[in-house]
Amino acid sequence: MSAKRDYYEILGLAQDASDEDIKRAYRKAALKHHPDRNQGDKEAEVKFKEATEAYSVLSDKDKRATYDRFGHAGLQGGADFSGVGVGDIFSQFQDIFADFFGDQTGRRGRRQARGADVRVDARITLRESMVGVKHEVTVEGLAPCEGCKGSGAAPGTSPETCRTCQGSGQVATQRGFIMFSSTCPTCRGQGNIITTPCSSCSGRGAVERQRKVLVTFPAGIDNGQRLRVPGQGMPGPNGAPSGDLYVDVTLEAHPDFERDGADLVTRENISFVEAAMGTEFDVVLPDGTEVPVEIPSGTQPGTVITARGHGMQLIGRRGRGDLHVVVNVHVPKKLSRKARKAFEELEDELAPPMSRRSAS
């Protein structure tokens, strides 16, 4: 019998290869020399067995350590597929091939079908987005049956494991070297059978109804953002996990404030005299907070006064945005005779010398 080839050489690996490198190299070799792709090719079959033998040793921590230290002699023939049929290899390494080629063995655990996700819209005010709020939203559709707690079986009974597939939901058939799986015809892939269905839901485990879900809107939530509420979507079949609820947020317009990201913008009217002499006033935010704002003398129309840290709460981190106050100077449309005279005197006082009109 010819000497065995080095396992690392077979898979094209260095001796310090990681577990992921070993798995990736074996997958490549197994796909290349797979008997189903190389019908009647004895050389490919030998290489397939060779790669599988190498993988069976190098993927096992203890076997690999022994092999690295003593070589093939250290394994004492513990891994030798030279006289083993390909069908036996599939039988012994079902988990490996299910990972690489999909679940074709019918023995792996069945993944329960998850319920569908649901999307709803919710409107909140600017004040509510500032402080955070909890609101109930209405969800219409299937909900877990209260009578059977979503199992579909009548109270006092429970679903029975399908005897055809032993609860896997799949049945296996062998075609040549390959094991194929298909949906179990008895339980239709569910893995269990309900012999006594619940009278409330007829065995579906869910009923049509309208329900309320309490949703927390965090402080700082903005228009167009989406919240996810796990497990509040449609129930899964036969007690499987429910889907998620997604809430799309719409922010109602405010008469006095606009939102720009985490910043708030408002407009305040002041008189001509206040703009010239300066003034102070409080801006009342949507949440009721009063923010003092100082208008310096000589403020021009359109000037923006910023109050740092008085905007919206930043989601996911500390701090707040800013408050921006756009100053509008109110100019009266009608003046009394006394007011006009006062403005004329003021104009003479304030106008630069070069701009004063000549008396001639």
* CATH code (residue 18): 1.10.287.110
Residue 111 lies in a domain: no
Indicate whether 78 and 125 sit together in one domain.
no
Where in the sequence is the domain holding 345, given as residue range(s)?
Answer: 267-349
Better-scored residue on pLDDT, 1 or 286: 286
Residue 71 lies in a domain: yes
pLDDT at 338: 87
pLDDT at 282: 96
Residue 152 lies in a domain: yes
Task: Give CA separation, 325 vs 204, 273, 300, in Å.
Answer: 59, 18, 13
Q: What is the CATH number of the domain that holds 186?
A: 2.10.230.10
How far is residue 104's CA from residue 178's CA, in Å, rounded to a whole number?
A: 8
Q: What is the CATH number of the domain that holds 296?
A: 2.60.260.20
Q: Angle, to 10 degrees, between the axis of helix 19-33 and the axis of helix 42-58?
A: 170
- No. of helices (H) and no. of strands (E), the chain: 10, 15
Above 70 in pLDDT, residue 82?
no
Indicate whether 122 and 97 sit together in one domain.
no
DSSP secondary structure letter of residue 322: -
For a pLDDT cut of 70, what percent of the chain falls above it?
82
pLDDT at 176: 54
Which two three-digit tokens encode residue 39? 């019908």
pLDDT tens track for 192-221: 888 899 988 888 888 888 889 999 999 999
Boundary residue ending a domain (251, 277, 306)? 251
Indicate whether 244 and 279 sit together in one domain.
no
pLDDT at 353: 56
pLDDT tens track for 292-306: 999 999 999 999 999
How far is residue 194's CA from residue 176's CA, in Å, rounded to a whole number?
A: 35
Residue 256 lies in a domain: no
Residue 257 lies in a domain: no
Indicate whether 165 and 61 sit together in one domain.
no
| Residue type present at position 216 | T
Residue 177 lies in a domain: yes
How far is residue 94's CA from residue 345's CA, in Å, rounded to a whole number?
A: 100
User: Around Cβ 13, how many Cβ atoms within 10 Å?
Assistant: 19
Indicate whether 165 and 285 sit together in one domain.
no
pLDDT at 226: 94
pLDDT at 96: 55
Q: What's the whole-number mean pLDDT along residues 314-323?
A: 91
Indicate whether 155 and 77 sit together in one domain.
no
The CA-to-CA distance between both ends of the chain, in Å, stands at 127
Indicate whether 89 and 179 sit together in one domain.
no
20 backbone dihedrals φ, ψ, rounded to 5°: -70, -35
Residue 29 lies in a domain: yes
Better-scored residue on pLDDT, 221 or 141: 221
Tell me what the pLDDT averaged over the chain comes to: 82
Which two three-digit tokens encode residue 262? 């985490």
Taking Cα atoms as reference points, which of 240, 229, 231 lies closest to residue 206?
240
How far is residue 276's CA from residue 82's CA, in Å, rounded to a whole number?
A: 99
Q: What's the whole-number mean pLDDT along residues 268-287?
A: 93
How far is residue 306's CA from residue 326's CA, in Å, rounded to a whole number?
A: 9
Above 60 in pLDDT, residue 2?
no
Above 70 in pLDDT, residue 83?
no
Indicate whether 272 and 247 sit together in one domain.
no
Residue 343 lies in a domain: yes
pLDDT at 328: 94
Give the pLDDT band (50/70/90) at residue 355.
very low
Indicate whether 34 and 62 sit together in one domain.
yes
Better-scored residue on pLDDT, 277 or 190: 277
Q: Which of 87-91, 189-193, 261-265, 316-320 has the highest mean pLDDT?
A: 261-265
Distance of CA 96 to the CA centre of its chain: 30
Indicate whether 12 and 89 sit together in one domain.
yes
pLDDT tens track for 100-139: 554 444 444 445 567 889 999 999 999 999 999 999 999 9
DSSP secondary structure letter of residue 225: -
Boundary residue ending a domain (193, 226, 251)? 251
Boundary residue ending a domain (101, 126, 146)? 101
Indicate whether 150 and 49 sit together in one domain.
no
Cite the DSSP H helix spans in 71-214.
72-75, 86-92, 94-101, 126-131
* Burial grade of 322 (CB within 10 A; 0-12, 13-18, 19 or more): middle
pLDDT tens track for 163-188: 888 888 888 776 655 666 788 888 88
Taking Cα atoms as reference points, which of 21, 25, 26, 48 lies closest to residue 37?
48
Strands 192-193 and 160-161: antiparallel
DSSP secondary structure letter of residue 282: E
Count CA within 13 A, CB hemisphere, residue 36: 12
How far is residue 228's CA from residue 215's CA, in Å, rounded to a whole number?
A: 9
pLDDT at 228: 94
Indicate whether 123 and 205 sit together in one domain.
yes
Domain count, the chain: 3
